[in-house]
Structure 1
Amino acid sequence: MLHKADTSFSERSAGFTWFFSFLIKFDRVKKEADGPIFLLLDEPGLTLHGTAQGDLLRFFSEKLSPHHQIMYSTHSPFMVPHENLATSRIVEDLVKIDDRSRRIPTGTKVREDVLSVDRDSVFPLQGALGYAITQTLFIGKHTILVEGPSDILYMKALSAELLRRGRTGLDPQWVICPSGGLDKIQAFVSLFAGNDLDVIALSDFSRKDRNKLEALRRSQVLKSGGLLTIADFVDQDEADIEDLIDPALFCTIVNTAYELPEDHALDTTKLSAANENTERQVKKAEAFFNVLPNKRPVFDHFLPASWLISNPSTLNGEKTAVTSTLDRAEKLFEALNSLKGDID
């Protein structure tokens, strides 16, 4: 026992009491019955926690349904079999409005078209689908949490070129998922806790993030060594995903993505001088764009990454700017791949 204390049955939770009583009653009825049983239940597991309702639903599916017929009513999204919605029915107490605007009850109707009814009736189904989607969308057994969508595009582009060259790219079993930053990683991991997932995180890093980074490591929501920063793979204290890219190549990507005219084109000298208070290329680029003429676009992280993934030949060739970029990316992917667990 966890707390080394006995708790009488009468002091147990309402949910536990219901479930235990149901098992005892069902076992007795099954012994007395001659053949399969038809189970008709009204709001089963109403007092159970949401995850316990999911366990009850799985018990119905795996232990009872193969041998007996079950029909039950529920308002709980956790009692809706989202993987088999075709077995669900909507029950409505319908009222018809006649020509004189009088409400005429038409009785209770059972409908198979579960997604074509009024919003209130379909709410449990929407809840079940919403929960199921959040447990699977963008998530795989092996997941890397990154800052945002631009990180995904840069990593995909660099990995594809490395693999094309026969070098080490990102293991295809990894699923890259945007988390929105260090602040949201702990909540994100907690949301999917219990799903037997292998989750690590790759974060940008600035000095102001140091305390957040240490707090996240102390929280132990990620496995040991499962929190990496881009600064670990470049020769500077602060870094974003863009700092894997050689400055000359980064300037080429930015100039082409934004179609900057020659007199306003970015080069390594302008990039370095744009903001001497930071080493981060993306912050330097932002500062450079801020002093361009008013009609020039505002710099954002996504457009250069989107352009690169659409123009992979930019990473072809043996120019120093390209090879040094790929060397840094390969070290990153080797480190990420080494953290992949044995979950299958």
Structure 2
Amino acid sequence: MILVSAKVGPFRSMNSEQTVEIDPTVTVFVGMNEAGKTVLLKALHKSFDAVGEDEFDPVDDYPRKDLSSYLKQHKTEPATATVLTYELEESEVGAANEALKTKLPSGFRIAVTHKYDNTIQLSLLVDETPVIQAFAKTLSSDAQTAMKEAKTLRAIPDLLKEASLTAEDNAALASLNTRLQATKWSNVSQWEVWSHVRANVPKFLYFSDYDTLPGKMNLADLAQRAEAAKNDPKQLTAAHRSVLALLRMADISMEDLVSPGSYEELKAKIEGVSISLTDQVMEFWKQNEDLEVEVDLKADPTDAVPFNNGANLYLRIKNRRHRGVSTPFDQRSRGFIWFFSFLVWFDSVQHQLDPSGKSAGKKLILLLDEPGLALHALAQADFLRYIDRLAQDHQVLYTTHSPFMIHSDRLHQVRLVEDQLKVGTVISSNLNGSDPRTIFPLQAALGWTIAQNLFISERNLLVEGPSELIYLQVASSLFDAKGTPGLRADLTIVPTGGLDNVATFVSLLGASGLKLAVLHDYKGSPEQKLTVLVRDKLLNAKSLFNVSQFRDEKKFGQSTTPTDIEDLFTPSLYLKYFNTTFAKQLAGKEVNEADLPAGDRIVCRLEKYVEANGISLRPSGGFNHYAVASQFASSPPKSLDVATSARFAALFGAINDVFDAS
């Protein structure tokens, strides 16, 4: 079962309800400091905390500006904090249908509403007809006739009162009555489906920088606090819980902590766990592979309270690169500390949920708050690989404002978080109209990818701008998904910032011995700057393409009419994304091709239409072509139409042939 959407609010800085689409694997929340990224994660966490320690509290969680008026109704009409919609996996649908005789459709969904009094309401639609039909097959023909008009399971006992029932009929009816008595729901099948799948609803595990392990902890004090926490959970801080998680992993109980003479055994157990965790960290931590975690247990009567009372647990990090010098755990790299602490907490929670270690991990959604905050840029790339590993078994939701924690080729996973004046926290997947400060990490991520690839890619396709990059990448991905050839995987698409910059890029990259091709828009005649590059032998003529060569299926390879890359799409497809991108400014108006003036280029026709109708889409006039491309990237079609596919297939084939021959 996976989370597909979350409706959150009002909650803390979210003054109004916000609906967020959740990616099946990884969802990234990008925004400035104090925008409300953590607020969203906490709302999800409190909905279904994996360890059962956090829940909604209206005083802490309801927006303060409305708190006084809300508290008057809280006990009688608790407000909704979140509505979480889950989709069953195919195996779960199949198992439910087999066990309950239902016919749940593929992609069956359940919505769970979480209230501020920590109660839930359920919404699921189950047709009882197949269940009624399956029950009827267990009855005699007379009983089947008697219940023929049954529309619900609850109606069956009354319909069978006057029927002549066999012993088998009475046994089936008794079994049905037991089912009916198990719930007060009018639709019994809905209750049975929920009861069947409720154990599969994933829980949330939240982890932040505050949950990291400390450098030392007094064991006697920890044991006392753990005992007191049974009545007062506030006795345990995040640091205490982190150490308890480590001890739990090492199979050390509270009784072990206070038992005299057991410290050697305790140390051996903790050291064993620490070595195992260090090995896991080092699979992804490539910044310094000479680190290891050391554990020590000793008393220090001269230390301050409470560390002068009995044994203390010391965590230290040893650096073999510097002859084994060790330093206290909490004085080392915050990135390494975060990584190690997360593994401790994560493994501990999985063990609590399922000591056998067989299934609990599949039922967790991981909420990571600024996981790369203390990591070097290249270490963040390492951590992204770790997130991808986690996403094989869990949905991962994390927050960031770092461009190095964003996959530039996975912008569909990004959700923007903004704090808007008088509105509060707003979450969106639409880049159009977003604060430039909010989308800066996305721009920087794209720029970093381009800059990095300039030095490591042997084969480069130069295009004019980021729109071309997006369209080519997404179209190629759609081809790959269908098993047909897209652009070759080792090809880097490099936006140059306009045709004027192409010559500079060709000179720089060509001088580095890299293989190049150029794809540009066509204005109706050859571009002088590009023909000069060919004349001066800086660029092979066969490596120079314009998009008009792939517009007319009967003239592939020939320069035809003025063409932009947008013209490779059928007008109806491009207009679909144009209308979606500017839906607010268009005020419900759907622009169709018949509305547009005549012309060769769809973007020019749209700009003329916008101007003629007095529609303002941006202060400088016209419209933002990149915004439409971004919308295309964030929600691409499942497949391209035949004409569009043919054009891109010809384009990809021509470009691949150039690099195959070189």
Indicate the residue corresponding to 1:316 in structure 2. Answer: 639
If you compute each CA radius of gyration, which structure gives the higher value, 1 or 2? 2
Identity %: 29
Number of the residue aligned with 2:497: 180
Q: Secondary structure at the match of 1:167?
A: coil
> d(CA) in 2 for partners of 1:239 and 1:315?
25
2:595 is aligned to 270
State the partner residue of 1:189: 506
- Would the aligned equivalents of 2:510 and 2:538 in 1 still touch at CA under 8 Å? no
For 2:611, the equivalent position in structure 1 comes to 290
Alpha-carbon shift at residue 263 of structure 1 (Å): 5.7
- The superposition leaves residues 49-83 of structure 1 with CA deviations (integer Å, 9 ceiling, x where unpaired) of xxxxxxxxxxxxxxxxxxxxxxxxxxxxxxxxxxx
Q: Deviations along 1:11-54, whole A, 9 cap, x unmatched? A: xxxxxxxxxxxxxxxxxxxxxxxxxxxxxxxxxxxxxxxxxxxx
Alignment partners' CA distance in 2, 1:294 and 1:136? 37
Q: Is 2:600 the counterpart of 1:279?
A: yes
- Residues 223-259 of structure 1, C-alpha deviation per residue, up to 9 Å, x if partnerless? 2401100011012411111011001111111111111
SS of 1:172's partner is coil
Distance 1:213 1:237 in 2: 18
> What secondary structure, in the 3-state scheme, does the structure 1 residue paired with 2:480 have?
helix
| Rounded Cα–Cα distance in structure 2 between residues aligned with 1:159 and 1:135 | 18
CA 1:256–1:324 in 2, change beyond 3 Å: closer, same or farther? same
From 275, 300, 303, the equivalent of 2:627 is: 303
Query: 1:227 pairs with 544, 560, 577, which one?
Result: 544
Query: Which residue type is aligned with residue 266 of structure 1?
Result: V
Match of residue 655, structure 2, among 331, 336, 340: 336
CA distance in 1, matches of 2:544, 2:625: 22
* Equivalent position SS for 2:594: helix
User: Does the CA contact (< 8 Å) of 1:198 and 1:341 recur in 2?
Assistant: no
Aligned match of 1:253: 577
In structure 2, how many angstroms separate the alpha carbons of the residues matched to 1:263 and 1:290?
Answer: 18
SS at match of 1:333: helix
Superposition map of 1:107-146 within 5 A: 137-139=452-454, 140-146=457-463
Aligned to 1:325: 644
Alpha-carbon distance in 1 for matches of 2:635, 2:470: 12
| Aligned-partner Cα distance in 1 for 2:561–2:450 | 35
- Alignment correspondent of 1:112: none
> Which letter does structure 1 place at the counterpart of 2:516?
V
Report if the CA contact (8 A) 2:581-2:628 is conserved: yes
Report the CA distance between 1:189 and its aligned residue.
1.5
Is 1:243–2:562 an aligned residue pair? no
For 2:480 and 2:486, locate their aligned partners in 1 and report how far apart those are by CA, in whole Å: 5
Match of 1:168 among 477, 485, 493: 485
The reply to whether residue 216 of structure 1 matches residue 541 of structure 2 is no
Shift of 1:208: 5.6
Q: CA deviation at 1:138?
A: 3.6
User: What CA distance in whole angstroms lies between the structure 2 residues aligned with 1:135 and 1:302?
Assistant: 17
Q: How many residues align?
A: 202
Is contact 2:464–2:502 with CA below 8 Å preserved after alignment? Answer: no
CA contact (8 A) 1:181 1:203 kept: no
Q: So what's the TM-score if we normalise by structure 2?
A: 0.29
- Is the alpha carbon distance of 1:149 and 1:296 closer, same or farther for their aligned partners in structure 2, counting shifts above 3 Å? closer
Give the superposition deviation at 1:211: 3.1
- The equivalences for 1:72-151 within 5 A come to 137-139=452-454, 140-151=457-468
Aligned-partner residue type, residue 246 of structure 1: T
Using the TM superposition, give the Cα deviation of residue 339 of structure 1 relative to its aligned residue in structure 2, in angstroms: 1.0
Query: Which amino acid is 2:643 matched to?
Result: S
- Tell me how far apart the structure 2 counterparts of residues 224 and 205 of structure 1 sit (CA, whole Å): 16
Give the deviation of 1:323 after TM superposition.
2.1
Closer, same or farther in 2 for the Cα pair 1:226/1:286, shift >3 Å? same
Contact 1:142 1:341 in 2 (8 A): no
1:141-180 Cα deviation digits (max 9, x unpaired):
1000001000000111111111111112111100000113
CA contact (8 A) 2:479 2:485 kept: yes
- SS of alignment partner, residue 237 of structure 1: coil
Query: Residues 270 and 307 (structure 1 numbering): CA distance in 2 closer, same or farther, change over 3 Å?
Result: same
- Asked whether the equivalents of residues 242 and 250 of structure 1 are also in contact (C-alpha less than 8 Å), the reply is yes
Distance change (3 Å), C-alpha of 1:149 and 1:135: closer
Q: Secondary structure at the match of 1:177?
A: strand
Superposition deviation, residue 210 in structure 1: 3.7
Map 1:48-63 → 2, pairs under 5 A:
none
RMSD across aligned positions (CA): 2.5
CA distance in 1, matches of 2:570, 2:475: 12
Structure 1, unmatched stretches of 5+, are 1-132
Query: Within 1, Cα distance between the matches of 2:650 and 2:465?
Result: 21
Q: Counterpart of 2:561 in structure 1: which amino acid?
A: D
* Superposed displacement of residue 291, structure 1: 2.8
Confirm or deny: 8 A CA contact 2:510 2:516 kept in the other structure.
Answer: no
Match of 2:96 in 1: none
**CA shift for structure 1 position 134:** 12
